[in-house]
Amino acid sequence: MEPTHRLDVLGHFCPVPVSQTRKALTKLSPGEVLEVLADDPETLHDMPVLVDRLGHHVIDVIKSAGEFRFIIEVRS
């Protein structure tokens, strides 16, 4: 699925990536896809937990050169 929105939180550490992702997800509609770019290693644990709690779906997590790309599908 192609992202419809993008959030860049590179250079930010906990809790900024998770709180900014939560804020962004609340503004999206079901079916939209959010791409989150992060480099805080804690996001590998925290982001899937957040997404699951909000009832959305992590489509993919791509790790490359110390950066993480989360692809999140918004569900109702």
Phi, psi of 37 (to 5 degrees): -105, 125
5-73: CATH number: 3.30.110.40
9-35 pLDDT, tens digit per residue, is 999 999 999 999 999 999 999 999 999
Choice among 1, 14, 44, 49 that is catalytic? 14
Q: What is the DSSP string of 22-76?
A: HHHHHTPPTT-EEEEEE--TTHHHHHHHHHHHHT-EEEEEEEETTEEEEEEE---
What tokens does 40 get?
A: 């805080």
Average pLDDT for 33-62? 97
14 is catalytic: yes
pTM of the model: 0.95
